[in-house]
Structure 1
Amino acid sequence: MSDSLKSHVSASVRAARRAKGMTQESLATAIGRSPEAISNVERGDSLPTLETLVAIAETLETSPGSLLPSSRSAPKRSPAAVRLEKEIAAVLHQLDERALRIARHQIEALLQS
């Protein structure tokens, strides 16, 4: 199993869980797994089974695919960059349309500087 896959999934699960305001313990209880299992996934020590990944995604009200790397992901992203990208995406997911427009303009301004 690829370390980059583990790193990506761990950052994605952690960011999505935090965005929902859940603890590892509450997520574990909601999906019928142990807190240690969630901790192992978030530390990148293990990958969840497909069944567990789907349960995590459903509980966190996201898609399983959003927790996995896409073909559009930058191949050489550091674990810290992947984590930041996922945390930003989780925050953006909570914004209404007006706030999303503002955020887009701010990001575009950063790209131009």
Structure 2
Amino acid sequence: MVTKSQFGVRLRQLRKEKKLTQEELAVRIGRSVDALSNLERGKSLPNFITIEQLAQALDVPLGDLFDFDETAISPRRAQLFEELQAVARRLPDNDLELAVEQVRAIGRHSR
């Protein structure tokens, strides 16, 4: 279901904007990290009480949780960006410069 994926992407986006870990947000809403992870991965949808708790814990209006941008990135693309970023963090500067050049070359080629 697209809505579950969109909700998950939006929830993760809001959590990261607030600089919260999954653990911190899970504690704030009284849910397990696994339950929050399932929401963010689009594996499940929250009930209304959890939606209210999420909005309060993230300090956003309730509707912001459903402010889906139709052009927003897919969950898979978001996962790939996170993976790319994690790999890049571990690279020494010279390798990171090379990786950026390679990604730019791929970007020019795929246009």
For Structure 1 versus Structure 2, the TM-score category normalised by the shorter chain is 0.5 to 0.7
**In the TM superposition, what is the alpha-carbon distance from 1:79 to its structure 2 partner?**
2.0
Residue 28 of structure 2: SS of its match in structure 1?
helix
The alpha carbon displacement at 1:27 in A equals 0.4
Residue in 2 that maps onto 1:94: none
Map Cα deviations across residues 45-103 of structure 1 (whole Å, 9 max, x no partner).
00011110110111111122111156xx54x86625xx6xxxxxxxxxxxxxxxxxxxx
Gaps of 5+ in 1: 84-113
Unaligned runs of 5+ in 2: 79-111
Determine the C-alpha separation between the residues in 2 that align with 1:77 and 1:60.
20
- With a CA cutoff of 8 Å and minimum separation of 6, indicate the structure with the bigger relative contact order: 1
Contact 1:5-1:69 at 8 Å conserved across structures: no
Pick aligned residue for 2:58 from 57, 60, 63: 60
Identity, in percent, stands at 37
Matched residues, number = 77
In our comparison, the structure showing a higher alpha carbon Rg is 2
Distance 1:31 1:52, change over 3 A: same
Q: Following the alignment from structure 2 to structure 1, what is the Cα–Cα distance between the partners of residues 23 and 31? A: 9
Alpha-carbon separation, structure 2, partners of 1:78 and 1:33: 26
TM-score, normalised to structure 1, is 0.60
Kindly report structure 1 stretches of 4+ aligned residues shifted beyond 3 Å. none
Cα pair 1:10 1:41 within 8 Å, conserved: yes
| TM-score normalized with structure 2 length | 0.61
